[in-house]
Structure 1
Amino acid sequence: MIFYDFFSGCGGTSQGMREAGLTIKLGIDFDRDSALTYRKNFPTARFIERDIRQLKVKDIAPHVSASKRRRPIVFGACAPCQPFSKQRRSDRRVDARKDLLGEFHRFVRAYLPEYVFIENVPGLQSVDDKEGPFARFLKFLTKLGYWHAHQVVVASHYGVPQHRRRLVLIASRLGPISFPKPTHGPGTRRRKLPSVWEAIRHLPPIAAGEVHPSIANHRAANLSPLNLLRIKATRAGSTRKDWPADLVLECHRDHDGHSDVYGRMAKNLPSSALTTRCISLSNGRFGHPVQHRAISVREAACLQNFPMNFEFLGNLESTGRQVGNAVPVAMARVFGKAIGQHYRRYQKEKRR
């Protein structure tokens, strides 16, 4: 099976699909550093570095037509999710990114892939429920003859060491399709959820602001002397509520909201959901559980299940953003395997 990654970012979905046995044919994204990272890690795939709004359907024809009749194809689309996040849902300003899923319609209609995979924040489903972008996409799939299933899943139930809730859709033109069963948690053979420490304990210690000399992307953001005192006053799994009064920020006095900022991860639990600022201590519960710093880019990548040989290109801010934006690899792998199993069942039934 052949996979085409729309809004690919650095390639989290592609990595998961590759691990599931699919051939990665094409990545599409307009972010320069993500393009560099994708090309570095998927050297046999093609890449189109362009905004999908300026991309014509015919532009991907050279990459699709040759394979279309010999092997089934899968289109994946994980459009930027920030317009639908909790923080942005109340923002009434027009955000052009909200119609990016609609842009994906054009390519599905033109090439009719056997399978479609979509991942996004749960907010995509609830925004303007009947006429929003996701509702329109479901109607569009049904009109084209696709069977589809969607639900909000918890990434830790699919092997990701994060409490990350995501909306996932899978669709097939070959027959009814259902969700793969969770691999971790209650009712599975692995009842214990994957933890932060299982994911990052193999990495050697580094200090805030330090770059490891031989491990790619094992680099941590620097901390001011005051923020170093703050993280030292924070227990693993806890927050700024541990701090003595002289360390509390003025904006946090008598304010109970944003309780995760400046927090530390717990060792033996999944982390909170990584964001584009996942290597910044002041932007979430992104403090290392043991060392006095925020997690490094490589540690964030491990929490997203990227293998150690997957290298991210760009500066510190860019690489952290790429990791935080990525689809968790383990989750994509589970759904990639489910798509493969569905196709094998289809072939078997077809031969009867």
Structure 2
Amino acid sequence: MIFYDFFSGCGGTSQGMREAGLTIKLGIDFDRDSARTYRKNFPRARFIEGDIRSLRPKDIEPYVSKSSRRHPIVFGACAPCQPFSKQRRDDGQSDERKDLLGEFHRFVRSYLPEYVFIENVPGLQSVDDEKGPFSSFLALLTRLGYWHAHQIVVASHYGVPQHRRRLVLIASRLGPIEFPKPTHGPNSARKRLPSVWEAIGHLPAISAGEIHPSIPNHQSANLSELNLRRIKATRVGGSRADWPEALVLDCHRAYDGHTDVYGRMPKNAPASALTTRCISLSNGRFGHPTQHRAISVREAACLQNFPMNFEFLGSLQSTGRQVGNAVPVKMAKVFGLAIGKHYRAYRKAKR
């Protein structure tokens, strides 16, 4: 099976699909650093560095010619999710990124891949429910003859050490398709969820602002003296509620919201969902469980299930953003395995 990664970012979905046994053929993204990272880690794949809105379906024909196709293909898409996130719900409705699923559909319509995989924030499902981008995309899939299923999943139930809720859609032109069963949690054989410490506990200690000399991307952001005092006053899994009065920010004295900011991760439970600012102490519960700093880019990558030899290119801020934007590898792998299982069953039934 051949995989094509639209809005690929650094390649979280591609890595999961590769681990599931699919051949990675093409990545598409307009972010330069993500393109550099993707090319380095998928040297046998092709990459188009460009905006999907300016690409035509025929631009990818050299990589997915309908006339010479010998293997089933899978199109994956994780369109930029910021327009649909909770933080953006009160913004205006003119964000042009909201129609990126429609742009993706141009390619689905032209090449009719056997399978489609989409991952995004839950808000995508509810924005303008009847006429919104997701409902329109489902209607388009139906008209093209796809069976499809979608639901909001918890990433920790698929082996990801994060409390990350995502909307996932899988579709097939070969027959009805069902969601894979969770691998972890209350409805699985593995009741215990994957933990932060299982993911990052093997990495050597570094200080705030330090770069490890031999482990790629094991680098953490520097901290001011005041923020160093704050994280030292925060217990494992704790928050700013642990601080003495002298360390509390003025903006938090009469405000109970955003309780995760400046928090430490727990050790023996999943982390909060990573974001594009996952290496910043002040932007979420991104403090290391035991060391006095925010998590490093490598630790964030481990929490996204990237293997240790997957290297991210770019500045500290860019690599952190790439990791935070990525689809968790193990979750993509579970769905890749499910797609492979579905295709094998289809082949068996056709004999």
TM tier relative to shorter chain:
over 0.9
Structure 2 counterpart SS, 1:17? helix
Residue matched to 1:6: 6
Structure 2: 5+ residue stretches without partners: none
8 Å contact from structure 2 (residues 66, 111) kept in 1: no
Separation (CA, whole Å) in 1 of partners of 2:241 and 2:161: 24
Residue matched to 2:217: 217
Q: Deviations over 1:136-178 (max 9, x none)?
A: 0000000000000000000000000000000000000000000
Structure 2 counterpart SS, 1:107? helix
Separation (CA, whole Å) in 2 of partners of 1:62 and 1:346: 28
Structure 1 counterpart SS, 2:309? coil
Separation (CA, whole Å) in 2 of partners of 1:187 and 1:106: 38
Residue matched to 1:302: 302
Q: For residue 92 of structure 1, report the CA deviation from its aligned partner.
A: 1.6
Structure 1 range deviating more: 86-95 or 245-254: 86-95
Identical-pair percentage: 82
Equivalent positions of 1:9-48 (< 5 A) are: 9-48=9-48
Residue matched to 2:312: 312
Structure 1: 5+ residue stretches without partners: none
Q: Deviations over 1:290-348 (max 9, x none)?
A: 00000000000000000000000000000000000000000000000000000000000
Structure 2 counterpart SS, 1:346? helix
Q: For residue 69 of structure 1, report the CA deviation from its aligned partner.
A: 2.6
TM-score (norm 1): 0.99
Residue matched to 2:293: 293
Runs ≥4 residues deviating over 6 A:
none
> Aligned AA for 2:206?
I
Residue matched to 2:134: 134
Residue matched to 1:58: 58
Residue matched to 1:101: 101
Whether 1:245 and 2:282 are equivalent positions in the alignment is no
Q: For residue 187 of structure 1, report the CA deviation from its aligned partner.
A: 2.7
Separation (CA, whole Å) in 1 of partners of 2:348 and 2:52: 37
Residue matched to 1:258: 258
8 Å contact from structure 2 (residues 276, 325) kept in 1: yes
Residue matched to 2:80: 80
Number of equivalences? 351
Separation (CA, whole Å) in 2 of partners of 1:119 and 1:258: 25
Structure 2 counterpart SS, 1:300? helix
Structure 2 counterpart SS, 1:74? strand
8 Å contact from structure 2 (residues 276, 320) kept in 1: yes
Residue matched to 1:181: 181
Residue matched to 1:118: 118
Structure 1 range deviating more: 279-288 or 68-77: 68-77
Equivalent positions of 1:228-239 (< 5 A) are: 228-239=228-239
CA 1:68–1:335 in structure 2 vs 1: closer, same or farther (change >3 Å)? farther
Structure 1 counterpart SS, 2:47? strand
Separation (CA, whole Å) in 2 of partners of 1:208 and 1:90: 35
8 Å contact from structure 2 (residues 265, 289) kept in 1: yes
Residue matched to 1:342: 342
Residue matched to 2:267: 267
8 Å contact from structure 2 (residues 234, 264) kept in 1: yes
Structure 1 counterpart SS, 2:65? helix
Separation (CA, whole Å) in 2 of partners of 1:212 and 1:126: 43
Q: Deviations over 1:224-247 (max 9, x none)?
A: 000000000001111001111110
Separation (CA, whole Å) in 1 of partners of 2:230 and 2:68: 56
Separation (CA, whole Å) in 2 of partners of 1:297 and 1:244: 29
